[in-house]
A = this chain, B = another copy of it.
Amino acid sequence: MRVLLVEDDPLHRAWLREAVRQALPECREIVECADGGDGETRAREMPDACVVMDLQMQPRTGIDAARTIWRERPATRILFWSNYSDEAYVRGVSRIVPPGAAYGYVLKSASGERLRLALRGIFVENQCVIDGEVRGAQQRSAVQSGALSETEYEVLIDIALGLTDQAIALRRGLSLRSVQNRLQAIYDKLGVRAVEGQTGLYNLRGRAVSVAVLRRLLNRATLEHAEADLARWTARHPRPRDP
């Protein structure tokens, strides 16, 4: 067994290395790198690698790296090791995990014992290990009233990018009115409707984005990513006449 560590903070990397050494004595080699891009190329060189991946990295994030790794080798076992349990990150991960793959999500604030257990659980026992706090965030969003469906989430991202209703309709292949319906649903679920006593205080569109950020449904990484998608789309899409 060989392990690839992708983590930009040297301190955390050292701590990780030690945890792996203790939890996985059968591990014959530990390779380390500090950036998502490096992670991808190193993973290519180690077809049997188990990966421990930080999520917040520059310029390529852990999500980016994990996506390409999984695209090339869907059975790869990846443990995400992150500072935050924001829904934005959790959604980002669960969006790219291939069906049937074993993976994990452990917070950096977890104890060494928990980290070591997760390492064995994923890389040896081939099971999924999700920290309680993370699962909490997952549930909170999926079960409670504020459960944005996947399509609603996409529209939320689109308005966060600053697109018009019209543009969203074009992009997602919907009528203008459908987009607006989805918006209504989002406003309801985020609890952004006229709150009886503050009429005209909020611009619902902007407000929705605001509370989404405050509730950690959205973050800069999400946006950056969506921005790149959008750029790709506009490039491919013939812009209508506009003289």
Question: Which of the candidate stretches A23-31, A38-46, A138-146, A217-225 sits at the interface with the other chain?
Answer: A217-225
The count of identical subunits is 2
Measured CB to CB, the residues of A under 8 A from B are: 9, 11-12, 15, 108, 159-164, 166-167, 192, 197-211, 213-214, 216, 219-220, 223-224, 227, 234, 239, 242
Q: How would you classify the secondary structure of chain A's contact residues: helix, strand, loop or mixed?
A: helix
Which 5 A-B residue pairs are closest in the complex by CB-CB distance? Answer: A162-B207, A162-B206, A199-B242, A162-B210, A11-B11
Contacts of A11 in B (CB 8 A): 11-12, 15
7 contacts between A and B (CB under 8 A): A162-B202, A162-B203, A163-B206, A164-B200, A201-B234, A206-B209, A216-B220
Question: Which residue of B211, B223, B224, B239 is within 8 Å of A197 (Cβ)?
Answer: B239
**Do the beta carbons of B202 and A163 come within 8 Å of each other?**
yes
**Do the beta carbons of A205 and B202 come within 8 Å of each other?**
no
**Do the beta carbons of B203 and A164 come within 8 Å of each other?**
yes
> CA of A187 to CA of B202 in the docked complex: distance in angstroms?
20
